Structure 1
Amino acid sequence: MTTLLHIDASARGGRSDLHAHGSHTRRLSARFVARWHAARAADPVFYRDVGQVPPAPVDDAWIHAAFTPEPARAPWMRARLAESDRLVDELVGADLIVAGVPMYNFGVPAAFKAYIDNIVRVGRTFGFDRARQGEPYWPLLAERPRTLVLLGSRGDYGYGGRIAAMNHVEPAVRTAFGYIGIRDVREAAVEYDEFGGERLAASVREAEAAVDALVDELLAERAAAAAPLALAACS
């Protein structure tokens, strides 16, 4: 089975296909998960809505607790890290992460930045040893394949072209997840949100087609990976 972790980060609560002022990223992420579930109904799906229920931002107490070795942590430290532990456990258990992350002022929403800060954890998702030769940091989630499907939306257009230098969403997310060992990232995004009209409608159609293609692509990859195991079991 493939375990899915479905994350939404939009501050908008509804989906744009169901609500006049709904979220395009919620629309895309829901479409991906529904299409996947139609093909593989037995795969478990865990849902995390950081847009509506943001994780607590990192503060001095969190830093103190996270950088204290686990056996030496006081009860208040474990309590402060409890939310982060839940988020990390969800991520560690996932094979496929589907994240709807809109662009807010050229970067990720504050709620999703708080999520990243809670899951990029020394000793949990990356290792650090100042005495280690060469590179003192290393990823802890590279022990098995995981895929991140990053589904975005933007008010302007050309964030992969004419104004790519202003796009601090996909590069930042790829960097953070790659740092902890999740480097297989697939992407699709809606643009022209501030323009509306046919340009937006066409972009939504293109993004939905891209989502469908991503589902088909990933399903095919998993089927191909499973085929040798099935043959081995029959031999």
Structure 2
Amino acid sequence: MTHTVLRLDASARLQDSVTRDLTGRITARWPEARIIHRDLAVTPVPQLTEGWLNANFTPADQRSPEQIETLALSDELVGELQQADTIVIGLPVYNFAPPSALKAWIDNVARVGVTFRYTENGPEGLLKGKRVILAMASDGTGAGSEIDFASPYMRHILGFLGLTDLTLVAADRLLLDGETSRAKASGQIESLPAVA
């Protein structure tokens, strides 16, 4: 069976983006894989609206044609996640947090009854058995530091959806020592297995 990799890019910088470079090199670790590439900066995912919320919380068999259309992109995004064996996410750190383009994607795929559910034992993620590689880049924020609100948030929300097998590749604090940071990230990529 062909291995499927979902690659998500979110950097507003289309040229010379560190996260785009990282996600590209990570994805290349699976040369025989089927790649689904979603560029959230080139083709932004809309912010949630009242109409989206109403459609999402209407039972699927009771949705109007307009509500079905409203959720069509969200359904497509969820389908990409469900198909993927490995998910590679570019995480540029903007103002200590994920960029709004990535947050909009999260809001569209975090759907009760679809990607998670509530049980008598608490919430349960429904996207299990997949691997996530988070490719983080920052100018001054240290990965895992007290001012890093990006990678812990991503780890939490992805885990909430059942995506608990997560590896962080970080080119952090680039403005302080870019050469060392890039070399560290390159070493982390080289240590990733070539096949899943």
Task: Give the counterpart of 1:190 among 157, 168, 171.
Answer: 171
Task: Give the counterpart of 2:70 among 59, 69, 80.
Answer: 80
Structure 1 CA distance, aligned partners of 2:165 and 2:121?
Answer: 25
Measured against aligned partners, the alpha-carbon deviations of 1:161-198 in whole angstroms (never above 9, x if no partner) come to xxx12111111111111111110000111123334xxx
| 1:34 and 2:28 matched | yes
| 1:54 and 2:44 matched | yes
Q: Say what the alpha-carbon RMSD is for the aligned residues.
A: 1.4
User: Contact 2:96–2:141 at 8 Å: present in 1 too?
Assistant: no
Q: Secondary structure at the match of 1:156?
A: coil
Structure 2 CA distance, aligned partners of 1:31 and 1:159?
Answer: 20
Instruction: Give 1:65-104 correspondences, 5 Å limit.
Output: 65-104=55-94
Structure 1 alignment gaps of length 5 or more: 15-21, 223-235
Task: Give the counterpart of 1:133 among 120, 131, 149.
Answer: 120
Q: Tell me how far 1:91 sits from its aligned partner.
A: 0.2
Q: Tell me how far 1:206 sits from its aligned partner.
A: 1.4
Q: Tell me how far 1:36 sits from its aligned partner.
A: 2.2
Q: Secondary structure at the match of 2:175?
A: coil
Q: Secondary structure at the match of 2:77?
A: helix
In the other structure, the counterpart of 1:5 is 6
Q: Tell me how far 1:157 sits from its aligned partner.
A: 4.7
Structure 1 CA distance, aligned partners of 2:52 and 2:66?
Answer: 10
Q: Secondary structure at the match of 1:36?
A: coil
In the other structure, the counterpart of 1:227 is none
| 1:147 and 2:131 matched | yes
Structure number with greater Rg is: 1
Structure 2 letter corresponding to 1:133: E
Larger fraction in helix:
1
Structure 2 letter corresponding to 1:35: R
Structure 2 letter corresponding to 1:77: Q
Structure 2 CA distance, aligned partners of 1:65 and 1:193?
Answer: 42
Measured against aligned partners, the alpha-carbon deviations of 1:135-166 in whole angstroms (never above 9, x if no partner) come to 2x322222xx1000000101115333xxx121
In the other structure, the counterpart of 1:117 is 107
Task: Give the counterpart of 1:201 among 154, 179, 191.
Answer: 179
* Aligned-residue identity in percent: 35
Structure 1 CA distance, aligned partners of 2:65 and 2:72?
Answer: 11
TM-score (norm 1): 0.79
In the other structure, the counterpart of 2:153 is 172
In the other structure, the counterpart of 1:226 is none
Compared CA separation, residues 157 and 61, structure 1 to 2 (3 A): closer
Structure 2 CA distance, aligned partners of 1:211 and 1:51?
Answer: 24
Structure 1 CA distance, aligned partners of 2:112 and 2:143?
Answer: 32
Structure 1 letter corresponding to 2:162: G
Structure 2 letter corresponding to 1:73: R
Q: Tell me how far 1:4 sits from its aligned partner.
A: 0.5
Structure 1 CA distance, aligned partners of 2:153 and 2:83?
Answer: 23
Q: Tell me how far 1:62 sits from its aligned partner.
A: 0.7
TM-score (norm 2): 0.94
Structure 2 alignment gaps of length 5 or more: none
Count of aligned pairs: 195
User: Contact 1:32–1:215 at 8 Å: present in 2 too?
Assistant: no
Q: Secondary structure at the match of 2:87?
A: strand
